[in-house]
């Protein structure tokens, strides 16, 4: 009796032939491009006595007929014993499968390391934004999809040659990514990587299908596809180690080069160990080679007949192909998203880039284990649809947690979501590939089905590359929500497909009777339409079953089928209800947590931004060696700053390669470039909102601490907007709140009192009669203090009442070298920093927002301008002390606090060595010369000018030189060997004495200077570390630092900019003292001298 037309599944291994699963009669998997195969199309347990035909379900409804395979069929294969099958299979498992899996791991390492490279700084170092980075990602996918057709070359070339060449090529492409200097370089490298990996990635399953039988191939194919999460495990582990390497190359470049080199080195291994086919395997005996070929021979009447357009049409019209393609589309979205963005997601949970690389590895490894277990279960029990649904339910919950838990304090919950997402998506992807290939017919239909499957499925890679922009950090709600929805689609589609196939199986059982799993089947559709003979056979089968010769009575069969329907419906309802319940509970719990609990550590955050005005790398080297000498410290002793080195920053402004402090501070405050002299105004003369103003609007407390005028360029850029930095009278008004935004600052400590006093008042430098201090007190509620005694009454901030204005000097607070002798008059930078931190902490103790504080070591720059090394090293040491004070605060506070520090530029062109004119170079400099100084050159010059002005009659040059030497040079500079020429210069020009005093001490210390202005060298960046601080690792633009400040606080600077531009009338700004004609100097690189 003939077997019925059949392709839809019976349970794998179910020898009674009872239909009851969505799986194919053969539970194995075909290769992903099996259209090119001609020797493996169906399950081949054939005996000479029992021949049957089978047709694909694609024509079942059209009345496809039955082909009877005759016993004298010339293509009939010989029988292979199970013992021989097992022996050959084990040899292949030991000698070939591990090799192909290793190649697959290397393939995924080289394609997936782009996400690790981004975390390690590639995107930042190449200066790419989110849209440009999406192009980098899509370059791989476009080329991968476009060149999958090259898999046909596997039929034309020996595998060991072809694969080794591919291995060499994609390894070289991966390595070349490490040499990329811009977006174009990286796009080209990733494109070539996609070309070569497409040929291998799609062809590897085809290669395995030439070695294993269908029932053996399913589990092994899942192992192969399951290499993707395992590869990501290795990628994360390797990235964790590689990114800790510190050398001349950036860690992300090393990542590409090292991982690509592993692939290149593996190419010879593939050449010598990979086999071309079972008949050429050196590890098989002559007899086993014959059996290895025979055991793969199954019947496909279309295999050698070329393209069968009827099957192609059937493939394109079969709804199952589109459902599987939709499942693949959804699963591939998550696969690509996790590979590209999982390190970034984990990093934004609050871990630095190195830890983020390591923490992704366990999730990937768990996903690999789940892949293996799920694939084995799908082969063992044959319920592919339910297993896909079950694993995707895990993915729904995982992505749901990532999308719903919007709380940094719940990092553990979000990390668990990462695990669930990975463990849910990867198994669904693997099993769906097996599932779709099980339910195809001949080669032509299989090719059409796979064309639909792969083309539609790969398109989601393009979506995943653009829905995780950095602007969505740290929660990436949009990308995770889409992942949750698409994974839910997998769940629904897999259940619906499972029930639909089971229903179709039952329908065909009723028509033709259960299938005999031991028959050879013709999986093609090259059979005539059902003849009367076929109908008679079906009728006879029905009669036979009714006579009791079948698998049971009609009533028993009906009962079993009804029970099967109820059971499957129950499972479906349970899966949906359980998944929905978990999501609802998670969202409810998160909402309840956010609305009922007290603010947590991560809800509230503080940001301290420190600026070392004018401090370059040479200033650090000078100060470090000076401190080691003075304090008798070993050569490996370093400053506190050295221990928190983070990277470097480029400094140019929009109109000059050499910036000034105003343009530099605008880059910090607004995150945008502007012209030299601009105070938070851009090149279009329009204001830009500052991070301090945005922070105040968002509910943060804010503060400014400096050692220069509080109206000087750097503090001014955070709380005012004027066209030129010289407009300090207007700056003072805006800083206290007399501007379009109102008061944005809660605390200001520093100098510059003269700009707040009305003209005509003792100590005033204002051009008008506005009493800014009185205005601040009466209208804007400021508490004011102007003395050391008033500062001490603040009790380190415990008695401070905000808003607080402390102006402790008429202009600049003296250099630290001089201030230490006037400690009863002026507070130090570190003292003011501690007081500000404590005052702001107290003010925010009951708030769910923290504070933003800018601290500037302002006078490092001034020491550079006058080329005074003795003054500069003391300024840097005091700045280092203030830096430590902030670190101590961070260690003591319960509120998440991040410290970032950098310079706006370098001043003076300092060199820690000097070649005297007419002398050979001396490879040394002398810290002792600086240690002997007790006063700054500025202070000594003031004393000289004061002494000369008090003389009723001019002193003779010899008398004045003697006085200068005895009263200033020897006690002040510690120089006892001043030359007559040096003393003559000082006596001849008291007004220019500052620079001449500096020349005397610089020469003794062998310290050189190239300018009294600024230079264009990169400056250092320092940080305490913490959440998201890796965004400014490496070499960054000064605007990147500014963007980090607003990003970390989560504030919207653009909204402030829009409000400023709407409320500020440009003529009113210009009328304040700077019309456009007065701004023409700003376009020149040469006219502006860098006022400080």
Please state the residue numbers annotated as binding site.
Answer: 613, 712, 714, 856, 861, 865, 904-905, 1014
Q: Annotated binding site for Mg(2+), which residues?
A: 613, 712, 714, 856
Copy the structure tokens of residue 242: 């590689």
CB-CB contact of 224 with 52 (8 Å) = no
| Cis before 474? omega within 30 | yes
Torsion of CA 1056, 1058, 1063, 1066, to 10 degrees: 110
d(CA 542, CA 532): 15
- Beta-carbon contacts of residue 340 (< 8 Å; ≥ 6 apart): 112, 114, 115, 118, 137, 464, 465, 468
Copy the structure tokens of residue 442: 């001949």
d(CA 218, CA 228): 16
**SS3 (DSSP) at 647:** strand
Closest to 197 measured CA to CA, from 224, 233, 168, 234 = 168
Copy the structure tokens of residue 778: 């009466």
- Tally helices (H) and strands (E) across the chain: 39, 12
**Backbone torsions φ then ψ of 707, nearest 5 degrees:** -115, 5
Query: Scanning the structure block, which residue is given the tokens 């090394």?
Result: 869
Query: Scanning the structure block, which residue is given the tokens 């022996």?
Result: 87
The DSSP H or E segment spanning 650 is strand 645-650
Torsion of CA 116, 118, 119, 120, to 10 degrees: 90
Which listed residue (222, 461, 661, 764) is catalytic? 661
How far is it between the farthest Cα atoms of the chain? 141
Copy the structure tokens of residue 367: 């996903």
CA distances from 310 to 59, 108, 442, 453, 679 (A): 10, 37, 11, 19, 74
d(CA 1044, CA 125): 15
d(CA 418, CA 356): 12
CB-CB contact of 244 with 354 (8 Å) = yes
CB-CB contact of 174 with 117 (8 Å) = no
d(CA 961, CA 988): 9
The total number of residues written for the chain in this structure: 1092
Beta pairing partners, 1021: 647, 902
d(CA 1074, CA 1070): 5
The distance of Cα 609 from the centroid of its chain, to the nearest Å, equals 23
- The single-letter DSSP state of residue 64 is B
- The single-letter DSSP state of residue 797 is G
d(CA 423, CA 391): 7
CB atoms within 10 A of CB 376: 14
Torsion of CA 621, 623, 628, 630, to 10 degrees: 150
Order of all β-strands in the sheet with 701-709: 783-785, 804-807, 747-751, 701-709, 851-856, 605-611, 896-902, 1019-1023, 645-650, 1034-1037
**SS3 (DSSP) at 804:** strand
The DSSP H or E segment spanning 715 is helix 713-719
Q: What DSSP line would sit under 381-429, residue for residue?
A: H--HHHHHHHHHHHHHHHHHHHHH---GGGHHHHHHHHHHHHHHHHHHH
Q: Annotated binding site for Zn(2+), which residues?
A: 613, 861, 865, 904-905, 1014
Decide if 828 is catalytic: no
CB-CB contact of 735 with 748 (8 Å) = yes
- The single-letter DSSP state of residue 529 is B
Closest to 717 measured CA to CA, from 776, 756, 758, 676 = 676
Active site residues: 661
């Amino acid at each position: 009796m003939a077997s019925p037309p059949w392709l839809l599944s019976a349970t794998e291994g179910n020898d009674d032939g009872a239909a009851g699963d969505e799986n194919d009669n053969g539970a194995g998997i075909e290769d992903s491009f099996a259209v090119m195969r001609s020797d493996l199309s169906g399950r081949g347990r054939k005996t000479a006595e029992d021949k049957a035909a089978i047709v694909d379900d694609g024509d079942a409804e059209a009345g496809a007929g039955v082909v009877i395979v005759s016993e004298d069929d010339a293509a009939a294969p010989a029988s292979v014993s199970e013992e021989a099958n097992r022996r050959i299979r084990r040899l292949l498992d030991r000698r070939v499968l591990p090799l192909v899996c290793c190649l697959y791991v290397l393939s995924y390492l080289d394609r997936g390391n782009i996400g690790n490279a981004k975390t390690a700084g590639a995107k930042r170092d190449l200066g790419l934004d989110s849209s440009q980075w999406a192009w980098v990602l899509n370059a791989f996918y476009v080329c991968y999809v476009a060149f999958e057709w090259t898999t046909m070359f596997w039929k034309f070339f020996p595998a060991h040659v072809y694969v080794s060449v591919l291995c060499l090529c994609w390894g070289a492409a991966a390595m070349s990514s490490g040499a990329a200097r811009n977006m174009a370089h990286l796009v080209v490298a990733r494109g070539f990587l996609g070309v070569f990996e497409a040929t291998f990635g799609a062809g590897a399953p085809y290669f395995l299908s030439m070695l294993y039988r269908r029932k053996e191939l399913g589990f092994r194919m899942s192992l192969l596809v399951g290499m993707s999460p395992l590869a990501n495990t290795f990628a994360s582990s390797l990235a964790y180690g590689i990114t800790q390497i510190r050398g001349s190359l950036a860690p992300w470049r090393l990542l590409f080069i090292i991982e690509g080199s592993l692939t290149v080195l593996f190419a010879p291994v593939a050449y010598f160990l990979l086999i071309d086919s079972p008949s050429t395997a050196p590890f098989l005996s002559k007899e086993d080679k014959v059996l290895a070929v025979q055991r793969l021979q199954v019947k496909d009447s279309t295999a050698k007949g070329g393209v069968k357009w009827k099957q192609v049409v059937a493939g394109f019209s079969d709804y199952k192909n589109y459902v599987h393609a939709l499942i693949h589309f959804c699963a591939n979205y998550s696969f690509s998203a996790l590979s590209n963005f999982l390190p970034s997601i984990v990093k934004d949970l609050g871990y630095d880039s190195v830890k983020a690389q390591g923490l992704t590895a366990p999730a990937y490894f768990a996903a690999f284990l789940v892949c293996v277990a799920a694939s084995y279960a799908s082969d063992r029990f044959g319920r592919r649809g339910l297993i896909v649904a079950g694993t995707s339910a895990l993915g729904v919950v995982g992505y749901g947690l990532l999308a719903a838990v919007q709380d940094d304090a719940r990092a553990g919950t979000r990390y668990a979501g990462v695990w669930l997402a990975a463990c849910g998506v990867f198994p669904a992807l693997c099993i769906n590939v097996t599932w779709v290939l099980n339910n195809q017919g001949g080669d032509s239909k299989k090719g059409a089905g796979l064309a639909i499957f792969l083309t539609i499925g790969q398109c989601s890679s393009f979506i995943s590359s653009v829905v995780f922009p950095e602007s969505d950090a740290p929660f990436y709600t949009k990308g995770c929500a889409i992942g949750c929805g698409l994974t839910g689609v997998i769940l629904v589609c897999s259940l619906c497909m499972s029930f639909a196939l089971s229903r179709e199986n039952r329908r065909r059982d009723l028509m033709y009777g259960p299938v005999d799993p031991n028959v050879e089947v013709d999986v093609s559709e090259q059979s005539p339409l059902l003849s009367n003979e076929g109908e008679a056979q079906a009728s006879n089968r029905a009669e036979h079953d009714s006579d009791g010769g079948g698998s049971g009575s009609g009533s028993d069969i009906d009962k079993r089928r009804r029970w099967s329907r109820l059971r499957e419906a129950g499972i479906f309802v349970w899966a949906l209800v359980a998944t929905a319940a978990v999501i609802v509970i998670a969202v409810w719990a998160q909402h309840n947590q956010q609305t009922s609990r007290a603010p947590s550590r991560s809800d509230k955050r503080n940001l301290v931004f420190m600026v070392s005005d004018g401090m370059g790398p040479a200033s650090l080297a000078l100060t470090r060696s000076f401190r080691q000498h003075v304090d008798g410290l070993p050569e490996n002793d370093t400053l506190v700053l050295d221990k928190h080195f983070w990277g470097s920053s480029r400094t140019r402004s929009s109109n000059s390669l050499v910036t000034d402090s105003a343009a530099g501070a605008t880059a910090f405050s607004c995150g945008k470039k502007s012209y030299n002299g601009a105070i938070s105004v851009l090149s279009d003369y329009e204001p830009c909102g500052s991070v301090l103003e945005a922070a105040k609007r968002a509910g943060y407390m804010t503060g400014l601490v400096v050692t220069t005028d509080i109206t000087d360029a750097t503090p001014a850029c955070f709380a005012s907007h004027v066209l030129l930095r010289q407009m300090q009278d207007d700056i003072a008004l805006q800083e206290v709140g007399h501007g379009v935004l109102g008061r944005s600052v809660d605390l200001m400590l520093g100098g510059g009192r003269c700009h707040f006093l009305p003209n005509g008042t003792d100590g005033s430098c204002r051009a008008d009669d506005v009493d800014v201090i009185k205005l601040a007190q009466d209208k804007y509620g400021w508490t004011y203090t102007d003395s050391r005694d008033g500062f001490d009454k603040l009790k380190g901030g415990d008695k401070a009442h905000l808003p607080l204005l402390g102006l402790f000097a008429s202009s600049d607070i003296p250099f630290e070298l001089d201030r230490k002798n006037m400690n009863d008059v002026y507070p130090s930078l570190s003292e003011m920093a501690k007081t500000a931190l404590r005052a702001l902490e107290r003010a925010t103790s009951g708030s769910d927002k923290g504070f933003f504080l800018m601290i500037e070591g302002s006078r490092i720059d001034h020491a550079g301008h006058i080329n005074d090394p003795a003054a500069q090293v003391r300024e840097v040491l005091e700045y280092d002390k203030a830096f430590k004070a902030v670190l101590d605060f961070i260690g003591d506070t319960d509120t998440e606090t991040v410290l970032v520090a950098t310079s706006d530029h370098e001043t003076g062109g300092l060199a820690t060595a000097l070649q005297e004119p007419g002398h050979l170079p001396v490879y040394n400099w002398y810290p002792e010369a600086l240690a002997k100084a007790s006063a700054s050159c500025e202070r000594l010059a003031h004393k000289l000018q004061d002494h000369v002005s008090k003389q009723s009659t001019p002193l003779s040059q010899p008398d004045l030189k003697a006085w200068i030497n005895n009263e200033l040079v020897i006690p002040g500079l510690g120089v006892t060997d001043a030359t007559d020429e040096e003393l003559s210069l000082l006596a001849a020009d008291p007004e220019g004495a500052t620079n001449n005093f500096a020349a005397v001490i610089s020469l003794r210390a062998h310290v050189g200077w190239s300018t009294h202005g600024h230079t264009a060298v990169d400056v250092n960046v320092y940080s305490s570390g913490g959440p998201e601080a890796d965004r400014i690792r490496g070499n960054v633009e000064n605007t990147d630092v500014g963007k980090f400040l607003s990003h970390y606080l989560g504030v919207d600077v653009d909204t402030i900019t829009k409000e400023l531009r709407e409320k500020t009338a440009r003529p009113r700004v210009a009328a304040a003292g700077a019309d456009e004609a007065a701004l023409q100097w700003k376009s020149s690189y040469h006219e502006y001298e860098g006022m400080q």
